[in-house]
Structure 1
């Protein structure tokens, strides 16, 4: 089992909301209304760990090890929402999300292949680590800068934990796991060719609720994410390249094969698809 070791590792570096956030350094003159509004939106977005956890537990009923790890992931992600709300409660109380605004992002996700979802969330943690690092640079108020830096480190650790479960999946399922990871990797590393930000909170996950079936579509300001990325923290091509390089680097280690570009990963995906198709039994003529 991976859970006991991961629990110890995450417990050893867990930060304390009262002691480890420099609340006494707050400087209201360095917090703009625009910046404060983005804190509220991220607080609500982080709350979506709740429906994601419900999805993980539902779709991994046969994997108690991973499900146990999700208890730690869920705790830390909900703590992210809480610390952002605590920041607003202390310094901009009129912007604290309402319980209804938080509850709005709790909705059921359609079932999906567990291996693809695992890879999707690994990529999501990599991307969010970079978003939060960039957000820490954009903000000018010292306390919220420190909070985003703290959250970014958590997201990096979560990505590392997901990677451990991906390695375990390859040992268990071989090419089936490799194919799932390569498929989603090609999608998540291709953001420069898509109109939307590629993160789990911005993907459609409930066909019956379309088009309000993304977390972002259910925020008080559904257009917020694109504006935050493009106009505010300015998550430009150089930052996107860092995300892609990190995804490709980790997949290279995982697959024991070098991927310098998304195109190389896509060729590998096609090779795996052909191999798996060739292994399928040929139907006997009746």
Structure 2
């Protein structure tokens, strides 16, 4: 089982909201209304770990090891929402999300292949790590800069934990599952490394997950300002092609290591995907 080891490693680096956030360094002159609004939107987005966890537990009912790991992931992701809410509560209470706004992003996700969902969230954590690193650079107020750095580090560790379960699927569960895993990794890797070629921000919270609720079946569509993510990425933190390239490079490097073949471009990975499908 991976859960006991992951529990120990993540517990050893867990940050304390009271001790590790420099609340006394707050400088109101360095926080704009526009910035406070983006913090609110991120606080609500992070709250969507709740329905994501419900999905993971439902779709991995036969995998108690991974389901147990969800106790860590869920706790830390909800903590991200909580620390952003605490920041607003202390310094911009007028921007604090309401309980209704938080609850609105809790809805049922359609069932999906577990390995594809695992890969999707691995790639999503990589992208979030880069988004939050860029957000920390965009902000000038020292407390929120420190918070985004802490959250970004968590997202990187979560990606590492998901990667452990991806490796397990290739090595410990038999040839049939390993074949399914390769196909899932290649398929989702192509999708999530292709952001340069799409106008859509490729993250699990921005993908459609419930056909019966379409088009209001993405987390982002259920926020108070559904279009905020594109504005945050393009106009505010300026997550440009260079930063997208860093995300794609990390995904391709990981896929190369996992699948034992070098993928320098998305096209390389897509050719491999097609080979698997043909075989």
Normalised by the length of structure 1, the TM-score is 0.96
- Indicate the residue corresponding to 2:145 in structure 1: 145
In structure 2, what is the Cα distance between the partners aligned to 1:32 and 1:151?
A: 21
Counterparts of residues 4-23 of structure 1 (less than 5 Å)? 4-23=4-23
In structure 2, what is the Cα distance between the partners aligned to 1:60 and 1:14?
A: 26
Deviations 1:131-160 (A, max 9, x none): 000000000100000000000000000000
Counterparts of residues 1-40 of structure 1 (less than 5 Å)? 1-40=1-40
Deviations 1:43-65 (A, max 9, x none): 00000000000000000000000
- Indicate the residue corresponding to 1:240 in structure 2: 244
Alignment gaps of 5+ in structure 2: none
- Given candidates 188, 193, 203, the residue that maps to 2:192 is 188
- Indicate the residue corresponding to 1:278 in structure 2: none
User: Any idea what SS the aligned residue of 2:185 has?
Assistant: helix
In structure 1, what is the Cα distance between the partners aligned to 2:200 and 2:255?
A: 23
In structure 2, what is the Cα distance between the partners aligned to 1:222 and 1:44?
A: 11
TM-aligned CA deviation for residue 256 of structure 1: 1.4
In the alignment, is residue 261 of structure 1 matched against residue 265 of structure 2? Answer: yes
In structure 1, what is the Cα distance between the partners aligned to 2:223 and 2:180?
A: 36
Normalised by the length of structure 2, the TM-score is 0.98
Q: How many residues align?
A: 275
Higher Cα Rg, which structure: 1
TM-aligned CA deviation for residue 110 of structure 1: 0.2
User: Any idea what SS the aligned residue of 2:152 has?
Assistant: helix
> After the TM superposition, which of the residue ranges 189-198 and 2-11 deviates more from structure 2?
189-198
- Indicate the residue corresponding to 2:41 in structure 1: 41
Alignment gaps of 5+ in structure 1: 276-286
User: Any idea what SS the aligned residue of 2:126 has?
Assistant: helix
In the alignment, is residue 214 of structure 1 matched against residue 218 of structure 2? Answer: yes
- Indicate the residue corresponding to 2:203 in structure 1: 199
User: Any idea what SS the aligned residue of 1:240 has?
Assistant: helix
In structure 1, what is the Cα distance between the partners aligned to 2:147 and 2:62?
A: 36
TM-aligned CA deviation for residue 175 of structure 1: 1.7
User: Any idea what SS the aligned residue of 1:174 has?
Assistant: helix
Q: Which runs of 4+ in 1 moved over 6 A?
A: none
TM-aligned CA deviation for residue 274 of structure 1: 1.3
- Indicate the residue corresponding to 1:81 in structure 2: 81
TM-aligned CA deviation for residue 195 of structure 1: 1.7
- Indicate the residue corresponding to 1:250 in structure 2: 254
- Indicate the residue corresponding to 2:103 in structure 1: 103
Deviations 1:9-45 (A, max 9, x none): 0000000000000000000000011000000000000
Deviations 1:54-113 (A, max 9, x none): 000000000000000011000000000000000000000011100000000000000000
- Indicate the residue corresponding to 1:279 in structure 2: none
In structure 1, what is the Cα distance between the partners aligned to 2:136 and 2:123?
A: 20
TM-aligned CA deviation for residue 268 of structure 1: 0.6
